Amino acid sequence: MGASFAELLQTAPVILGEGAVIERLRREFAVELHPELVNAAFVYEPAGRAALETIYRQYLAAGEHYRLPMLLSTPTWRANRERLARAGLADRDVNGDNFRFLDALRRSYGPYAGQIFICGLLSCRGDAYNPREGQSTEAAREFHRFQAEALAAAGVDLLLASTLPGCAEAAGLAQAMAATGLPYIVSFVIRPTGTLLDGTPLHRALAIIDDAVRPRPLGYLVNCSHASIFRRAICQPGNDLPAVRARLLGLLANTAALSPEELDEHPELVTEPPDDFAAAVAALHAEFGMRLLGGCCGTDGRHIAALADRLATLIRR
């Protein structure tokens, strides 16, 4: 496929991330999310598969048009062994089939396919907004090993554990991903005060994982947080150090400046105009050197296209 994702991080000024997937499936498409697997089984259903393809192609169109390298995530956020068993799909390679679905989309983009990277997506075992449901590091390493190995065996370019509320489970996830031999990224949900949801300062969480896991992550992301929250968090004492910011790759941003608890309980989608979103997120590249930027809750194809436009303008001046 050409350059690895690790090499891309060394050479590309910016990498475009995708936007919301699960949130859009819930609100825009007439498909019902699975109670256990959310969207991971949609590759087996015509309507769900078509909805996924529509969403991913909108994001890919933005990357292709503005000639930006792009990172896509497999729809496997909840496809761990425990949930697959409860869904009656323990005998199917759900993680691998989701990668092959995205890989087929990638191959359809001709020369641009070489700039599209696919990460195998994992997350915490429990509620991503409730750190009290988090696992110990040892328990997380064993629990997440199955999914990390399944995604690695399928052929993903790298692994990503996202929407993580606590440090201990994140460390175990990092160990499970590191053991596959693939490069990997760890992504947290944070508060404006500069901590994870479990209260661990962001800089401390990065140091704990970097010190304890070999090979260490390619870097760290924040997701499911508004750009204004990210900005406040990384300007907190300890997080504002050059060594800490050098390990931060960027943000997959929400369109609402709400706390996780407010987002979780909000009955309606809270969004902002695509141009406002794009300006706030692109500024993180201009001011702090963040290189991997995309969307999370509230975003759609318009937001990612506006962001791609802003980023392309910044790097080509």
- Over range 286-297, report the average pLDDT: 97
pTM metric for this prediction: 0.96
| Mean pLDDT for the stretch of residues 213-233 | 97
What is the predicted pLDDT for the residue at 147? 98
Distance CA 83, CA 36 (A): 6
Average pLDDT over residues 292-316: 97
pLDDT for 298 equals 95
Taking only the tens place, the pLDDT of each residue in 180-207 is: 999 999 999 999 999 999 999 999 999 9
pLDDT at 45 (0 to 100): 96
Percent of the chain with pLDDT over 70: 96
Q: What are phi and psi of 173, to 5 degrees?
A: -60, -45
User: What is the predicted pLDDT for the residue at 123?
Assistant: 98
Structure tokens at 12: 């590309």
170, 178, 180, 209, 243 from 174: Cα distances, Å = 6, 6, 10, 7, 20
Q: Has 297 been labeled as part of a binding site?
A: yes
pLDDT confidence of residue 92: 98
What whole-number distance in Å separates Cα of residue 206 and Cα of residue 240?
13
The answer to whether the annotation marks 224 as part of a ligand binding site is yes
Per residue in 233-248, pLDDT (tens digit) is 999 999 999 999 999 9
* pLDDT score of 268: 65
Distance CA 174, CA 188 (A): 12
Angle at the Cα of 59 from the Cα atoms of 187 and 79, rounded to 5 degrees: 45
Task: Determine what percent of the chain is predicted with pLDDT higher than 90.
Answer: 93
Mean of the per-residue pLDDT values for the chain?
A: 95
Q: Is the pLDDT of residue 257 over 60?
A: yes
Distance CA 185, CA 158 (A): 8
Provide the pLDDT for residue 317.
Answer: 74
Q: Is 124 flagged in the annotation as binding?
A: no
pLDDT the model gives residue 269 = 67
Q: What is the distance, to the nearest Å, from the Cα of residue 203 to the centroid of all Cα atoms in its chain? A: 19
- The domain spans of the chain are 5-315
Question: Do residues 201 and 194 touch, judged by C-beta distance below 8 A?
Answer: yes
CATH classification for the domain delimited by 5-315, as one of 3.20.20.330, 3.10.20.10, 3.40.1190.20, 3.40.50.2300:
3.20.20.330
Asked if pLDDT for residue 1 goes beyond 50, the answer is no
Q: What is the largest CA-CA distance in the chain?
A: 53
3-state class percentages of the chain: helix first, strand second, coil last, to nearest 5:
50, 15, 35
Q: Does residue 191 contact residue 229 with C-beta atoms inside 8 Å?
A: yes
The torsion angles phi and psi of 136, rounded to 5 degrees, stand at: -70, 165
Quick one: three-class SS letters along 127-141? CCCCHHHCCCHHHHH
Number of neighbouring beta carbons within 10 Å of residue 268: 6
Region 102-113 average pLDDT: 98
Which region among 2-11, 153-162, 289-298 has the lowest average model confidence (pLDDT)? Answer: 2-11
Residues 139-144 have a mean pLDDT of 98
Phi/psi of residue 39, nearest 5 degrees? -115, 5
| Confidence check: pLDDT of 95 > 60 | yes
